[in-house]
């Protein structure tokens, strides 16, 4: 009887090993990404959805208590203020706003973070020319109770056009 104990125990260990390896399948690899990468991806998704769906796509990323800091204006908070500020830009034909996050950081608690990057705003002028403006932004994100990251504060400032490198 004793000679069956060793093979049974070995079989048990093999089963445990297989279960552990299957729990680390490729579908779970996102669980081991640094949290900053998740926030960078969320900001990039915010840009993509806004480009595809316009104002409604933009507003789907905004927290109920979000604050915006428009140039030359007062601080605006809440969904109606966000709609008022962004509707002119995001619903006007011939206007394009795109941004690119370049860095993200999270608080140790994992509930707040920020991203920053650059943006390009293009408008078709009545004379047919395209007016292109450049800028930089900082967005503060909060992880909501449902796990979704939402924008709680956003500010952008104008910048000169990026320098183009001349070929050597």
Model confidence at 3, in pLDDT bands (50, 70, 90)?
A: low
Give the pLDDT score at 166. 61
Nearest to 149 by CA among 71, 18, 37, 14: 37
Give the residue from 101, 96, 140, 98 showing the smallest Cα distance to 119: 98
Residue 99: how many CB atoms within 10 A of its CB?
Answer: 23
Residue 137 lies in a domain: yes
Q: Is residue 166 part of a domain?
A: no
- C-alpha of 108 from chain center: 18
User: pLDDT, tens digit, for every residue of 108-156?
Assistant: 999 999 999 999 999 999 898 999 999 999 999 999 999 999 999 999 9
The answer to whether residue 25 sits within a structural domain is no
At which residue do the structure tokens 């706003």 appear?
97
Structurally, the chain folds into a number of domains equal to 1
- Flag whether pLDDT at 20 surpasses 60: no
Task: Summarize pLDDT for 26-83 with one digit per residue, the tens.
Answer: 444 445 667 789 999 999 999 999 999 999 999 999 999 999 999 888 999 998 999 9
- Is the pLDDT score of 160 beyond 80? yes
CATH number, domain with residue 47: 3.10.450.50
Give the residue among 156, 143, 147 at the shortest CA–CA distance from 47: 156
Q: Which residue has the higher pLDDT, 56 or 3?
A: 56
Could you tell me the pLDDT band of residue 8, with boundaries at 50, 70 and 90?
A: very low
């Amino acid at each position: 009887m004793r000679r069956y104990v060793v093979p049974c125990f070995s079989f048990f260990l093999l089963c445990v090993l297989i279960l552990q390896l299957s729990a680390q399948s490729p579908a779970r690899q996102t669980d081991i990404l640094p949290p900053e990468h998740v926030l960078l991806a969320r900001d990039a998704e915010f840009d993509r959805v806004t480009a595809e769906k316009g104002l409604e796509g933009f507003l789907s990323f905004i927290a109920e208590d979000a604050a915006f800091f428009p140039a030359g204006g007062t601080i605006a908070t809440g969904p109606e203020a966000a709609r008022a500020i962004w509707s002119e830009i995001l619903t006007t034909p011939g206007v394009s706003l795109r941004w690119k996050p370049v860095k993200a950081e999270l608080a140790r608690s994992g509930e707040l973070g920020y991203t920053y990057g650059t943006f390009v705003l293009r408008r078709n002028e009545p004379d047919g020319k395209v007016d292109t403006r450049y800028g930089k932004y900082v967005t503060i994100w909060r992880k909501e109770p449902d796990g979704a990251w939402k924008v709680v504060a956003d500010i952008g400032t104008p910048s000169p056009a990026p320098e183009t490198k001349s070929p050597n």
